[in-house]
């Protein structure tokens, strides 16, 4: 009974903070509400006895990702008016081509996942003997390697974009 009440209270906090992130006009306040949202999700992980995920949630998301968001928010001047012209050195077709390439790659990954044969039955029973951290590490670097790398590439692109936008001001 107490776990159900705690779950519903945490879920209400998570949804409330998510709404505040989207509706707040001040971007710094939105990032701070995002930190509170991440901390509430970490508390939900603790409630579900996934302590490793809770620690990773606090360290990676509430720590690292939010610092990156604040870095981008502070570097990008949101008060300046939009540009009236398009830069002549900008090549839109390269962006469209790369987007199409990423979509084809994503389709190939999904198609391979649907067609790939399942592993042997003995491998599933040996995975149950591993503890939680080892199991997460094995899954992260075997089955979920491509999403892990895609997330790291997205963070790298966001950081490079923030630097390019800030360099234009200097």
Residue range(s) defining the domain that contains residue 27:
1-58
Instruction: Report yes or no on 95 lying in a domain.
Output: no
HEC secondary structure over the chain: CHHHHHHHHHHHHHHHHHHHHHHCCCHHHHHHHHHHHHHHHHHHHHHCCCHHHHHHHHHHHHHHHHHHHHHHHHHCCCCCCCCCCCCCCCCHHHHHHHHHHHHHHHHHHHHHHHHCCCCCHHHHHHHHCCCHHHHHHHHHHCCCHHHHHHHHHHHHHHHHHHHHHHHHHC
Summarised one tens digit per residue, pLDDT across range 95-144 is 888 888 988 988 888 888 778 766 554 455 444 445 777 777 788 888 88
Whether 41 is covered by a domain: the verdict is yes
145 in a structural domain: no
How many domains, the chain? 1
- Domain contains 99: no
Tell me, yes or no, whether 72 lies in a domain: no
- Residue 25 located in a structural domain: yes
Residue 91 pLDDT > 80, yes or no?
A: no
Confidence at residue 127, expressed as pLDDT on a 0 to 100 scale: 47
Q: Is residue 90 part of a domain?
A: no
pLDDT value of residue 169: 60
The model carries a pTM of 0.53
């Amino acid at each position: 009974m107490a776990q159900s009440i705690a779950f519903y209270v945490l879920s209400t906090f998570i949804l409330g903070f998510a709404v505040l992130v989207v509706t707040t006009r001040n971007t710094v306040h939105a990032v701070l509400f995002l930190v509170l949202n991440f901390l509430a999700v970490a508390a939900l992980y603790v409630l579900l006895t996934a302590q490793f995920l809770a620690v990773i949630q606090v360290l990676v998301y509430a720590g690292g990702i939010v610092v990156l968001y604040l870095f981008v928010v502070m570097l990008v001047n949101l008060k300046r008016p939009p540009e009236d012209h398009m830069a002549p050195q900008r090549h839109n077709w390269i962006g469209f081509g790369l987007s199409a390439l990423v979509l084809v790659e994503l389709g190939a990954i999904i198609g391979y996942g649907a067609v790939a044969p399942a592993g042997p039955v003995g491998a599933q029973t040996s995975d149950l003997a591993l503890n939680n951290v080892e199991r997460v590490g094995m899954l992260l670097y075997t089955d979920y390697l491509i999403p892990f790398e895609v997330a790291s590439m997205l963070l790298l692109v966001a950081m490079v974009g923030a630097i390019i936008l800030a360099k234009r001001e200097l």
